[in-house]
Structure 1
Amino acid sequence: MSEFDWYLQVNLKARHLRLLVTIDTYRNLTQVADVTHVTVPAVSKSLAELERGLGLTLFSRTGQGLMPTPYGECLIRHAKSMLTILHQARDELKALSSGTEGKINIGMLPASASVLLPHALGILKQRSPGTNAMVSEGTTALLLPELWQGHLDLVVGRLPPPDTLGSFEELELLEEPVVLVTGRHHPLARKKSLTWDDLRSYPWILPPPGSILRDPLERALEAHEVPLTNNYIETLSVHVARAHLQVSEFIAVMAGSPASDVTQPLHILPLSLPRLLRPTGVLWNRNRGLTPSARLMVSCLEEAAQQLQAGPGAVPSPVAHPVKTKRS
């Protein structure tokens, strides 16, 4: 074993990993010393020992502070992953020692998982009250990097295009059509027959640029020669969209479950859209695998999807099965 291999496998400690990530965050030894509650010479000595042990220069000193070299960037990236794994192990051990059954960090794409995920969380709490969940809302662009880095266990929502999945495993859960909706008081809701031309003069609630639905929606409207007016609101929040539709003459686009919510009913316009999006599903990082709590959550999502697909009057089977699993 070379000296380099020996140092990496035997002498590299968690404190070295934390030091690297902290220096990368602040790029200033004085600030690093402040947040780690040690002296500047102690920080400098620890970094020098690490570089000497590896035989590599990890940071270069510049006018902008300490900047990572290519060696530093490589090791920092892996340090963040290793620290995430250690934190997850700590959380699982704490949960076991305190009598709880685990914790799941879930990312939710709000426009497509606002019905499925709450339903699945209800099933989770019935099955395992001691399993807790942290839910964060965000866009695909925000949540997928968090999933890749290990900060999230699962991402639930409309599945992104297959060519963007990389090392993620996906499970399709719910096929829901995308529909155009208005409030029930809307002039278009009272028309006996409707054409695409009837939409031209009304304002829109749109998904933001860069979201999964925006580009396909614009292409579909262009195909029917419906220009988007300059009067619009952009949001991923189903709650904001539903509330505004109740008091305005806006048109919005929604998936089937949010559009059919009986607690705040909307009118679905009788105009057929092509299949704009992939099904709603769940993603996880296949390189990290699933914790027992995350596997339980996937099972609850499957059962919730079966119940939603069956409809409110149906009696679902006690155990759900995947619709389709895909490797990318």
Structure 2
Amino acid sequence: MSRKPAASTGAARIGRRRTPPPEAAGGRLKLSHLRLIVAIADSGMVSAAAQAVGMSQPAASRMIVEIERLLKAPLCERLSRGVRLTPLGQALARHARSVLLVLAQAEREVADLRAGRRGVVSLGTVAGPAVDLVAPVMGRVRAAAPDLEVEIRIDSSNNLARELLASRLDFIIARVPDEFDAQAFESVVIGVEQAHLLVRRDHPLIGRRTLTLADVGAYEWVMQPRGTPLRRAVDVLFRSANIDPPRRFLTTTSIFLTMMLAASSNAIGPLAIGAARFASESMAPGRLAILKTDFSLVVQPYSLIAMRNRPLSPAAQAVYDIILSQALPGSGRKT
């Protein structure tokens, strides 16, 4: 009896699955890869990054090798203390932040839809609109969404812009600093900030009818860091009058520390008008006062700023729209 012919070897090859080489196995970036590279960018240390994402340092080191095999390029440069991302690693970290933000927004949006009008909105603001705009508008936000949690950070425009770029804030009320690409942001001018000079109630200049730049320039000032809009406004004000700016500075971005230093010394603290009035009339009545001057300290206009091509979550969009309508009645939605 003749035997049936064996199946052709060609057919056997077609049905057999090839085992990919190690660097091609599962050859796409994973969310765990993205979380690790962002953690390394934030901490500059593999050990700290590993702890942040909940894995051991050896596992994190192996994952870095895995990512480098996928991308066929190094991600990190070892330093005496910690690591530094290569240009490729920095690019990956930047895009990873955006991907993780979109995923976080998706999770928040689903949760909002399931639980009703709930969620968390993180916004940042410079001092002036914090008092004059954000604080008053929170009543409207609370009425529209009682269960919405709003996180508010008050800081300089430079620091707020960095936090917005890092996806740690949904939007900000500030100015776009010169060091950043304005095309990366979508901004709407909503106000102009002015500042008063805050001092202790028994300051040597209190009681003088009208003070000049020369009068106030002789004292120490508590100022924001060099390059910030308020600091630039002070420099421009003095130089336009052909007077040297104050030479003695204490530098801080903290409004509270500015008030404390002004209250406990002869230092002069420029603060946004709303913040200065609140400090002198409500926060520390009897301890702080506003100097009467023959000049005005005008800071450049501030804007409502979001990232271009990064959609806001429904909760963030709702707060954005309420603030925009409060600042510019009749304005439309962000597009």
Same fold per superposition (TM over 0.5) = yes
* 2:120 equivalent in structure 1: 103
Q: Which runs of 5+ in 1 are unaligned?
A: 307-319
Q: Structure 2 matches for 1:143-292, cutoff 5 A?
A: 143-158=160-175, 160=177, 164-183=181-200, 185-228=202-245, 231-246=248-263, 248-261=265-278, 262-263=281-282, 264=285, 266-273=289-296, 275=298, 277-292=299-314
Q: 1:141 to 1:85 in 2, by over 3 A?
A: same
Is 1:117 matched with 2:137?
Answer: no
Secondary structure, counterpart of 1:176 in structure 2: strand
AA of the residue aligned to 1:215: R
Secondary structure, counterpart of 1:289 in structure 2: coil
AA of the residue aligned to 1:151: R
The separation in 2 between residues aligned to 1:11 and 1:246, in whole angstroms, is: 58
Is 1:321 matched with 2:326?
Answer: no
The separation in 2 between residues aligned to 1:246 and 1:61, in whole angstroms, is: 48
Q: Structure 2 matches for 1:44-123, cutoff 5 A?
A: 44=62, 50=67, 56-59=72-75, 70-110=87-127, 113-123=130-140
* 1:297 equivalent in structure 2: 319
The separation in 1 between residues aligned to 2:79 and 2:210, in whole angstroms, is: 68
* Contact 1:103/1:293 (8 A) holds in 2: yes
Q: 1:283 to 1:191 in 2, by over 3 A?
A: same
Query: Percent identity of the aligned residues?
Result: 24
Q: 1:35 to 1:241 in 2, by over 3 A?
A: closer
Q: Which has the higher contact order (CA 8 A, sep 6+)?
A: 1
Q: 1:172 to 1:266 in 2, by over 3 A?
A: farther
AA of the residue aligned to 1:281: S
TM-score if structure 2 supplies the norm length? Answer: 0.71
* Contact 1:181/1:251 (8 A) holds in 2: yes
The separation in 2 between residues aligned to 1:162 and 1:23, in whole angstroms, is: 24
The separation in 1 between residues aligned to 2:265 and 2:118, in whole angstroms, is: 46
AA of the residue aligned to 2:153: S
The separation in 2 between residues aligned to 1:63 and 1:231, in whole angstroms, is: 37
Secondary structure, counterpart of 1:271 in structure 2: coil
Deviation larger for 181-190 or 293-302: 181-190
Q: 1:160 to 1:41 in 2, by over 3 A?
A: closer
AA of the residue aligned to 1:297: V
* 1:134 equivalent in structure 2: 151
Please tell me whether Structure 1 or Structure 2 has the larger radius of gyration of its CA atoms: 2
Query: What's the C-alpha RMSD, in Å, of the aligned pairs?
Result: 4.1
The separation in 2 between residues aligned to 1:91 and 1:137, in whole angstroms, is: 24
* Contact 1:204/1:231 (8 A) holds in 2: yes
AA of the residue aligned to 1:140: S
The separation in 1 between residues aligned to 2:86 and 2:209, in whole angstroms, is: 67
AA of the residue aligned to 2:293: P
* Contact 1:112/1:158 (8 A) holds in 2: no
Question: 1:125 offset after TM fit, Å?
Answer: 1.1
AA of the residue aligned to 1:296: A
AA of the residue aligned to 1:255: A
* 1:309 equivalent in structure 2: none
* Contact 1:109/1:140 (8 A) holds in 2: yes
Secondary structure, counterpart of 1:116 in structure 2: helix
